[in-house]
Protein backbone atom coordinates (compact mmCIF):
# COMPACT_ATOMS: atom_id res chain seq x y z
CA UNK A 1 0.00 0.00 0.00
CA UNK A 2 1.32 3.45 -0.92
CA UNK A 3 2.29 5.60 2.07
CA UNK A 4 -0.32 8.27 1.28
CA UNK A 5 -3.05 5.63 0.98
CA UNK A 6 -1.93 4.07 4.25
CA UNK A 7 -2.10 7.39 6.11
CA UNK A 8 -5.43 8.29 4.49
CA UNK A 9 -6.90 4.98 5.68
CA UNK A 10 -5.54 5.61 9.17
CA UNK A 11 -7.11 9.08 9.30
CA UNK A 12 -10.41 7.91 7.81
CA UNK A 13 -10.75 5.15 10.40
CA UNK A 14 -9.96 7.41 13.36
CA UNK A 15 -12.44 9.49 15.31
CA UNK A 16 -9.81 10.90 17.66
CA UNK A 17 -7.37 13.01 15.65
CA UNK A 18 -5.49 15.92 17.23
CA UNK A 19 -3.64 18.56 15.21
CA UNK A 20 -0.60 20.45 16.51
CA UNK A 21 0.47 23.31 14.24
CA UNK A 22 2.93 26.15 13.93
CA UNK A 23 3.69 29.14 11.71
CA UNK A 24 4.21 27.01 8.61
CA UNK A 25 0.47 26.31 8.48
CA UNK A 26 -0.26 29.95 7.63
CA UNK A 27 2.55 30.80 5.19
CA UNK A 28 0.36 29.89 2.20
CA UNK A 29 -2.05 32.59 3.40
CA UNK A 30 0.70 35.20 3.07
CA UNK A 31 1.88 35.30 6.68
CA UNK A 32 5.64 34.71 7.04
CA UNK A 33 6.93 32.21 9.56
CA UNK A 34 9.55 33.18 12.11
CA UNK A 35 12.71 31.11 11.72
CA UNK A 36 13.07 30.19 8.04
CA UNK A 37 15.40 32.11 5.72
CA UNK A 38 12.49 34.34 4.67
CA UNK A 39 10.95 34.40 8.13
CA UNK A 40 10.20 37.41 10.32
CA UNK A 41 13.31 37.00 12.45
CA UNK A 42 15.59 37.08 9.39
CA UNK A 43 14.00 40.03 7.63
CA UNK A 44 15.74 43.40 7.58
CA UNK A 45 14.17 45.99 9.85
CA UNK A 46 14.90 49.56 10.86
CA UNK A 47 15.52 48.98 14.56
CA UNK A 48 18.54 48.40 16.74
CA UNK A 49 16.60 45.71 18.60
CA UNK A 50 16.13 42.11 17.55
CA UNK A 51 12.61 40.95 16.60
CA UNK A 52 12.70 38.48 19.49
CA UNK A 53 13.39 41.28 21.95
CA UNK A 54 10.68 43.48 20.45
CA UNK A 55 8.23 40.64 21.12
CA UNK A 56 9.26 40.34 24.76
CA UNK A 57 7.49 41.39 27.93
CA UNK A 58 10.49 43.52 28.84
CA UNK A 59 10.30 45.52 25.59
CA UNK A 60 6.54 45.96 26.00
CA UNK A 61 7.04 47.37 29.50
CA UNK A 62 9.94 49.64 28.58
CA UNK A 63 8.85 50.87 25.15
CA UNK A 64 5.07 50.46 24.73
CA UNK A 65 4.92 52.91 21.81
CA UNK A 66 7.57 51.06 19.79
CA UNK A 67 6.02 47.73 20.79
CA UNK A 68 2.61 48.73 19.40
CA UNK A 69 4.23 50.04 16.23
CA UNK A 70 6.05 46.75 15.71
CA UNK A 71 2.89 44.70 16.24
CA UNK A 72 0.88 46.80 13.79
CA UNK A 73 3.59 46.77 11.14
CA UNK A 74 4.80 43.18 11.34
CA UNK A 75 2.19 40.90 12.89
CA UNK A 76 -1.24 42.15 11.85
CA UNK A 77 -2.53 41.13 8.43
CA UNK A 78 -6.05 42.37 7.78
CA UNK A 79 -6.68 40.93 4.31
CA UNK A 80 -5.86 37.27 4.82
CA UNK A 81 -7.88 34.13 4.20
CA UNK A 82 -7.63 30.51 5.34
CA UNK A 83 -5.65 28.29 3.00
CA UNK A 84 -6.06 24.68 1.92
CA UNK A 85 -4.64 23.30 5.17
CA UNK A 86 -7.04 25.28 7.37
CA UNK A 87 -10.02 24.19 5.26
CA UNK A 88 -9.09 20.49 5.32
CA UNK A 89 -8.84 20.57 9.11
CA UNK A 90 -12.20 22.33 9.41
CA UNK A 91 -13.78 19.62 7.26
CA UNK A 92 -12.29 16.87 9.44
CA UNK A 93 -13.69 18.57 12.54
CA UNK A 94 -17.12 18.85 10.90
CA UNK A 95 -17.00 15.12 10.13
CA UNK A 96 -16.32 14.41 13.82
CA UNK A 97 -12.82 13.01 13.35
CA UNK A 98 -10.72 15.94 14.53
CA UNK A 99 -11.05 16.48 18.28
CA UNK A 100 -8.93 19.59 18.60
CA UNK A 101 -6.45 21.98 17.02
CA UNK A 102 -3.53 23.08 19.17
CA UNK A 103 -1.91 26.04 17.46
CA UNK A 104 1.11 28.20 18.14
CA UNK A 105 -0.27 30.76 15.67
CA UNK A 106 -1.96 34.02 16.64
CA UNK A 107 -3.73 34.75 13.32
CA UNK A 108 -7.14 33.08 14.01
CA UNK A 109 -7.21 31.54 10.52
CA UNK A 110 -8.40 28.20 11.89
CA UNK A 111 -11.52 29.90 13.25
CA UNK A 112 -12.04 31.78 9.98
CA UNK A 113 -11.99 28.41 8.19
CA UNK A 114 -14.76 27.15 10.46
CA UNK A 115 -12.88 25.26 13.17
CA UNK A 116 -14.28 25.67 16.67
CA UNK A 117 -12.14 23.36 18.82
CA UNK A 118 -9.05 25.58 18.68
CA UNK A 119 -6.59 25.98 21.55
CA UNK A 120 -4.26 28.95 21.06
CA UNK A 121 -1.02 28.39 22.96
CA UNK A 122 0.29 31.88 22.24
CA UNK A 123 -2.99 33.80 22.30
CA UNK A 124 -4.37 35.77 19.37
CA UNK A 125 -4.42 39.16 17.67
CA UNK A 126 -8.21 39.55 17.56
CA UNK A 127 -8.60 40.33 21.29
CA UNK A 128 -7.06 43.21 23.27
CA UNK A 129 -7.31 44.43 26.84
CA UNK A 130 -6.20 47.19 29.20
CA UNK A 131 -3.36 46.03 31.43
CA UNK A 132 -4.80 47.95 34.41
CA UNK A 133 -8.59 47.80 34.42
CA UNK A 134 -9.02 44.85 32.05
CA UNK A 135 -11.40 46.59 29.65
CA UNK A 136 -11.72 44.61 26.42
CA UNK A 137 -10.97 45.97 22.96
CA UNK A 138 -11.16 44.68 19.40
CA UNK A 139 -8.53 44.64 16.67
CA UNK A 140 -10.35 47.53 15.02
CA UNK A 141 -10.16 49.53 18.26
CA UNK A 142 -6.44 48.82 18.55
CA UNK A 143 -5.67 49.87 14.97
CA UNK A 144 -7.57 53.14 15.29
CA UNK A 145 -5.64 54.29 18.34
CA UNK A 146 -2.38 56.20 18.25
CA UNK A 147 0.71 54.56 19.69
CA UNK A 148 0.92 53.68 22.46
CA UNK A 149 -2.79 52.76 22.53
CA UNK A 150 -4.42 53.96 25.75
CA UNK A 151 -7.53 52.75 27.53
CA UNK A 152 -10.64 54.95 27.23
CA UNK A 153 -11.52 54.19 30.84
CA UNK A 154 -8.26 54.54 32.79
CA UNK A 155 -5.66 55.66 30.21
CA UNK A 156 -3.39 52.68 30.83
CA UNK A 157 -1.79 50.71 28.00
CA UNK A 158 -3.83 48.40 25.78
CA UNK A 159 -2.13 45.25 24.54
CA UNK A 160 -2.91 42.21 22.43
CA UNK A 161 -3.88 39.00 24.18
CA UNK A 162 -0.71 37.22 23.02
CA UNK A 163 2.05 35.48 24.94
CA UNK A 164 5.33 37.40 24.75
CA UNK A 165 8.84 36.16 25.41
CA UNK A 166 9.27 36.15 29.17
CA UNK A 167 5.61 35.33 29.82
CA UNK A 168 4.04 31.98 30.64
CA UNK A 169 1.39 30.14 28.67
CA UNK A 170 -2.13 30.11 30.07
CA UNK A 171 -2.51 27.15 32.40
CA UNK A 172 -5.96 26.11 31.18
CA UNK A 173 -4.74 25.98 27.58
CA UNK A 174 -1.69 23.94 28.61
CA UNK A 175 -3.80 21.42 30.52
CA UNK A 176 -6.37 20.98 27.75
CA UNK A 177 -3.68 20.64 25.08
CA UNK A 178 -1.81 17.98 27.01
CA UNK A 179 -5.05 16.12 27.70
CA UNK A 180 -5.93 16.09 24.00
CA UNK A 181 -2.49 14.82 23.02
CA UNK A 182 -2.46 12.13 25.70
CA UNK A 183 -5.81 10.76 24.53
CA UNK A 184 -5.22 11.14 20.77
CA UNK A 185 -5.28 8.16 18.45
CA UNK A 186 -3.67 10.07 15.56
CA UNK A 187 -1.46 13.11 16.21
CA UNK A 188 -0.70 15.33 13.20
CA UNK A 189 2.17 17.79 13.72
CA UNK A 190 2.50 20.43 11.01
CA UNK A 191 4.53 23.50 10.12
CA UNK A 192 6.62 23.93 13.23
CA UNK A 193 10.36 23.79 13.85
CA UNK A 194 9.68 22.22 17.27
CA UNK A 195 12.43 24.19 18.97
CA UNK A 196 10.26 26.52 21.08
CA UNK A 197 9.49 25.25 24.57
CA UNK A 198 7.36 24.46 26.42
CA UNK A 199 5.16 23.90 23.34
CA UNK A 200 7.56 21.49 21.61
CA UNK A 201 7.64 19.35 24.72
CA UNK A 202 3.91 18.66 24.47
CA UNK A 203 4.59 15.96 21.87
CA UNK A 204 6.23 13.86 24.58
CA UNK A 205 2.78 13.30 26.09
CA UNK A 206 1.56 11.38 23.04
CA UNK A 207 1.01 7.71 23.88
CA UNK A 208 0.13 6.33 20.45
CA UNK A 209 2.02 5.11 17.40
CA UNK A 210 0.40 7.23 14.69
CA UNK A 211 2.27 10.52 14.85
CA UNK A 212 2.37 12.21 11.44
CA UNK A 213 4.87 15.05 11.01
CA UNK A 214 4.62 17.41 8.02
CA UNK A 215 7.07 20.24 7.42
CA UNK A 216 9.01 21.90 4.62
CA UNK A 217 12.30 20.80 6.17
CA UNK A 218 13.56 18.47 8.91
CA UNK A 219 12.66 19.30 12.51
CA UNK A 220 14.10 18.58 15.94
CA UNK A 221 11.47 15.88 16.52
CA UNK A 222 11.55 13.88 13.27
CA UNK A 223 12.97 10.84 15.05
CA UNK A 224 9.94 10.38 17.30
CA UNK A 225 7.37 10.59 14.47
CA UNK A 226 5.93 7.45 12.89
CA UNK A 227 5.34 9.10 9.50
CA UNK A 228 7.31 12.07 8.16
CA UNK A 229 6.47 14.11 5.06
CA UNK A 230 8.45 17.04 3.64
CA UNK A 231 6.94 19.56 1.25
CA UNK A 232 4.25 22.19 0.85
CA UNK A 233 1.98 21.76 3.85
CA UNK A 234 -1.33 22.32 2.08
CA UNK A 235 -0.37 20.01 -0.76
CA UNK A 236 0.81 17.24 1.56
CA UNK A 237 -2.37 17.43 3.64
CA UNK A 238 -4.45 17.38 0.46
CA UNK A 239 -2.49 14.36 -0.77
CA UNK A 240 -3.16 12.56 2.50
CA UNK A 241 -6.84 13.47 2.30
CA UNK A 242 -7.00 12.14 -1.26
CA UNK A 243 -4.80 9.14 -0.54
CA UNK A 244 -2.30 9.74 -3.32
CA UNK A 245 0.83 11.79 -3.82
CA UNK A 246 0.29 14.91 -5.90
Q: What is the set of active-site residues?
A: 122
Asked if residues 180 and 119 have their Cβ atoms less than 8 Å apart, the reply is yes
Q: State yes or no: cis peptide before 129, omega within 30 of 0.
A: no
Based on its alpha-carbon atoms, the radius of gyration of the chain, rounded to whole angstroms, reads 19
Distance CA 57, CA 186 (A): 35
Distance CA 226, CA 211 (A): 5
H helical segments located in the chain: 3-13, 51-54, 57-62, 64-74, 84-94, 109-113, 139-144, 171-183, 233-242
Asked if residues 223 and 201 have their Cβ atoms less than 8 Å apart, the reply is no
Q: What are phi and psi of 166, to 5 degrees?
A: 95, 0
Buried b (16+ CB within 10 A) or exposed e, 4-34: beebbebbeebebbbbbbbbbbbbbbebbbb
Amino acid sequence: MELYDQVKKMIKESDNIVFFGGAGVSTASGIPDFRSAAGLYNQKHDSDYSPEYMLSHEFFEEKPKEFAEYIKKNLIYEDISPNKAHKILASWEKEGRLKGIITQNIDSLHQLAGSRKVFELHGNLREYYCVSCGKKYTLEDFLKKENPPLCDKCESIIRADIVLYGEGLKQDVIEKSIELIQKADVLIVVGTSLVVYPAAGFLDYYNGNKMILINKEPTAKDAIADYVFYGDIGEVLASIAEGKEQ
